[in-house]
Amino acid sequence: MFNKILIANRGEIACRVIQTARRMGVATVAVYSDADRDALHVAMADEAVHIGPSPARESYLDQARILDAATKTGAEAIHPGYGFLSENAGFARACAAAGIVFVGPGADAIAAMGSKSAAKRIMGDAGVPLVPGYHGEDQSPATLRKAADDMGYPVLLKAAAGGGGKGMRQVWQASEFDDALAAAKRESMASFDDDAMLVEKYLTQPRHVEIQVFFDHHGNGVYLAERDCSLQRRHQKVIEEAPAPGVSEALRKRMGEAALDAARAIDYRGAGTVEFLLDVDGSFYFMEMNTRLQVEHPVTEMITGLDLVQWQLEVAAGQTLPLAQDEVTITGHAFEARIYAEDAEQDFLPATGTLSFLRPPVESQHVRVDTGVVEGDEISVYYDPMIAKLVAWDENRDRALSRLGRALADYRIGGTVTNVEFLYNLATNAAFRAAELDTGFIERHSDELYQRRAVDRERQVPVAALALLLWRQREGSVATFGESQSPWRSQSAWRLNQGAVHRFAMACQEETLDVCVEQVGDSYHISVGEISATIGGELDGDALLYDWQGHRQRATLAGGPDGFTLYGAAGACHFREVPPDTGEADHGADDGGLVAPMNGTIVALLVEPGTAVEADTPLLVMEAMKMEHTLRAPAAGTVTGFLAAPGDLVDGGAALIEFTPTGDSE
């Protein structure tokens, strides 16, 4: 076994590899860019080497710097993770030339699978079933079109160099072909600098089922069951599971053996994944082979009890595979949900932000969280905005899915928008529970999936009001520590000749609510508009324990400069305190009215640039934390320009409006 390895990656996969290496007694070297100076993978590794500026092509994709870091630190092998250099044949060759083991297949195997069309030719020759289609060298539009006409519509155009669903177009009839070809070529050229296309029969209701294979250097190969990755959005995986529902032992064996044939055809070594489309009639077709560890490998680990990174390192070190095919067993069922900073309501636009609050569910034999971030970390524009992979296991599919739903409900993330609620809607969807799977699932069920859980005002608002009061009392007593006996400094509403009544305003769901709380013994009588309730409760750290008519519940209060989120069984409720109206115009604290108060999205610009306005004129509306915020003129003056446009995502503190107060002009 190696003494020391370098991990040429970042984020959760770098952390994941480091964990196994540590358990195996292998020392680890991390590499990092400027943006990742304080990242978790850097802190976890035994050593870390700075490899350049934040953009990936100047750091994580810089082969020379990475090899230099390996040589300098005496690392004997490089684990590439996934993405970045993991499927770069040139890098695998450069490692070999530098006398460093590349943890992955040989460069030739990577190169052979690098082109979808070349891969199909190899697989066709090896007798692996292929989707009917054209994957020839003649790329003239007439040839491609004839291929499509001959096989009959619908067809799928695919970029030969493609990945991540880019450069792909469905064509439903001959009249659409030319436009679709032009669009697919443009996209492919932009993403891969190559516009070679293949044309395939488009299967209308396929499932994406992939086989995990493993080969050593001694001629042994096994398949480790399959994963179903049919839950996709625009051809990108959202939730994966293993085993694939409804796949019989006989079908598993046929697909497994086809996958082994595929790998043997390119003299494969190490971990690989052979992706198939599984049609409704049980026929399956080779799609592509990924010559690396997949993002979704944990579901395979959960059902086989194996550590695939350990296997990778053992194979790379020349050891034989630890198990033969008949020793591989499957126990139970596992799901993986990919948690991203992205806005489901804005077409899954990637989001950025600082993770001001981060409480993953508690890990156990049933719940695993693979992540590369901690509270306070930033999701930056430089890399993939994945926050974590949440994995749930149980003895059968139904129970595992319930575990996943619960764990998603317990995942609390503040400071950026995430897809957690969308994933929760998926995990609790009846059709998904019934395993009615195919790659069109998300599109077909979009009505149910994109729904936000409605805030149950009657139940959530009083609890939010109580949480806010308890938080204020605690923060107040902290601020006046040492003087807390003074009735003048106390935040409690105790006043001579008055009951303990607190009045304040809070904003919840774009509405400002006047709250009145009367403290009666251990209980609080809360009225907000027509809603009233008597609740007992205490705030312990960020845990709110409350008792409402004998029903005790627990919620988590995430507080920050941007307001609060209360996470409870019924979902999340966002609210903030509204400063008391002092009778003066609210100028948005010290001119802060002209900068974004928090991360959010610009909704509307309310005046034309160049307009002279009165103090307090609404100028811009942004949305953040599910609430709209209006920025107003801090004084009479002129709006000289806007620094953001509707739809833009802006960071808290970013300047948004150029404003010249009257009298300041020269």
Instruction: State the catalytic residues.
Output: 292
Cβ distance 417 to 342 under 8 Å? yes
Residue type, 553: Q
Q: Between residues 202 and 504, which has the closer beta carbon with respect to ligand ADP?
A: 202
Which of 93, 121, 217, 235 is close enough to bind ligand ADP by CB under 6 A? 235
Which of 226, 275, 343, 562 is close enough to bind ligand ADP by CB under 6 A? 275
Which of 83, 104, 105, 162 is close enough to bind ligand ADP by CB under 6 A? 162
574 binds ligand ADP (CB under 6 A): no
517 binds ligand ADP (CB under 6 A): no
Cβ contacts of 493-498, under 8 Å, gap ≥ 24: 493/519
Q: Which one of 86-94, 162-170, 401-409, 491-499 is the stretch in contact with ligand ADP (CB under 6 A)? A: 162-170
Which of 232, 291, 312, 565 is close enough to bind ligand ADP by CB under 6 A? 232
Torsions phi, psi for 105 (to 5 deg): -75, 175
No. of H helices and E strands in the chain? 17, 38
Min dist CB 201 to ligand ADP, Å, is: 6
Min dist CB 443 to ligand ADP, Å, is: 11
Min dist CB 164 to ligand ADP, Å, is: 5
Query: Which 3 state secondary structure label does DSSP give 592?
Result: helix
* Residue in the block written with tokens 């990936």: 56
- Helix (H), strand (E) at residue 638: strand 637-642
Min dist CB 147 to ligand ADP, Å, is: 13
Q: Between residues 233 and 576, which has the closer beta carbon with respect to ligand ADP?
A: 233
Give the Cβ contact number of residue 430 at 10 Å. 9
Q: Which one of 158-166, 250-258, 309-317, 415-423 is the stretch in contact with ligand ADP (CB under 6 A)? A: 158-166
Q: Which one of 139-147, 202-210, 403-411, 414-422 is the stretch in contact with ligand ADP (CB under 6 A)? A: 202-210
Q: Between residues 238 and 573, which has the closer beta carbon with respect to ligand ADP?
A: 238
124 binds ligand ADP (CB under 6 A): no
163 binds ligand ADP (CB under 6 A): yes
Residue type, 410: D
Min dist CB 208 to ligand ADP, Å, is: 4
Query: Which 3 state secondary structure label does DSSP give 412?
Result: strand
Torsions phi, psi for 335 (to 5 deg): -125, 150
Min dist CB 290 to ligand ADP, Å, is: 8
Q: Between residues 131 and 148, which has the closer beta carbon with respect to ligand ADP?
A: 131
Counted residue by residue, the chain has a size of 666
Q: Between residues 94 and 128, which has the closer beta carbon with respect to ligand ADP?
A: 128
DSSP, res 381: S
Give the Cβ contact number of residue 249 at 10 Å. 9
Which of 187, 200, 216, 377 is close enough to bind ligand ADP by CB under 6 A? 200
165 binds ligand ADP (CB under 6 A): yes
Cβ distance 161 to 115 under 8 Å? yes
Cβ distance 221 to 250 under 8 Å? no
Q: Which one of 159-167, 441-449, 525-533, 554-562 is the stretch in contact with ligand ADP (CB under 6 A)? A: 159-167
Any bridge partners for residue 286, and if so which? 130, 276
DSSP, res 283: -
Per-residue tokens: 291: 């010559």
Which of 41, 169, 208, 576 is close enough to bind ligand ADP by CB under 6 A? 208
Cβ distance 32 to 49 under 8 Å? yes
Q: Between residues 195 and 288, which has the closer beta carbon with respect to ligand ADP?
A: 288
439 binds ligand ADP (CB under 6 A): yes
226 binds ligand ADP (CB under 6 A): no
Which of 44, 203, 231, 351 is close enough to bind ligand ADP by CB under 6 A? 203
Min dist CB 351 to ligand ADP, Å, is: 23
Q: At what angle do helices 107-114 and 89-97 cross, to 10 degrees?
A: 170
Q: Which one of 29-37, 44-52, 161-169, 331-339 is the stretch in contact with ligand ADP (CB under 6 A)? A: 161-169
Interior/surface letters 358-386, b for 16+ CB within 10 angstroms, e for the rest: bebbeeeebbbbbbbbeeebbbeebbebb
Per-residue tokens: 107: 């460069």
Min dist CB 234 to ligand ADP, Å, is: 9
287 binds ligand ADP (CB under 6 A): yes
Number of residues that bind ligand ADP (CB under 6 A): 21
131 binds ligand ADP (CB under 6 A): yes
156 binds ligand ADP (CB under 6 A): yes
Which of 76, 228, 240, 288 is close enough to bind ligand ADP by CB under 6 A? 288
Per-residue tokens: 480: 């006046």
* Residue in the block written with tokens 């994944």: 273
- The DSSP result for 472-522, as a single string, is HHHHHHHHTTT-TT-TTT--S--BTTB--EEEEEEEETTEEEEEEEEEETT
Q: Which one of 80-88, 196-204, 448-456, 531-539 is the stretch in contact with ligand ADP (CB under 6 A)? A: 196-204
202 binds ligand ADP (CB under 6 A): yes
508 binds ligand ADP (CB under 6 A): no
Q: What is the 3 state secondary structure string of 153-192?
A: CCEEEEECCCCCCCCEEEECCHHHHHHHHHHHHHHHHHHH
Residue type, 311: W
465 binds ligand ADP (CB under 6 A): no
Torsions phi, psi for 140 (to 5 deg): -65, 140
Q: Is 16 left (phi over 0), alpha (psi -120 to 50) or beta?
A: alpha
Torsions phi, psi for 538 (to 5 deg): -145, 155
Min dist CB 131 to ligand ADP, Å, is: 4
Q: Between residues 338 and 629, which has the closer beta carbon with respect to ligand ADP?
A: 338
Which of 277, 321, 461, 526 is close enough to bind ligand ADP by CB under 6 A? 277
Cis check: omega of the bond before 243, within 30 degrees of 0: yes
Report the C-alpha gap between 665 and 660 in whole angstroms: 7
Contact residues toward ligand ADP (CB under 6 A) are 131, 156, 158, 162-165, 168, 200-203, 206, 208, 232, 235, 275, 277, 287-288, 439
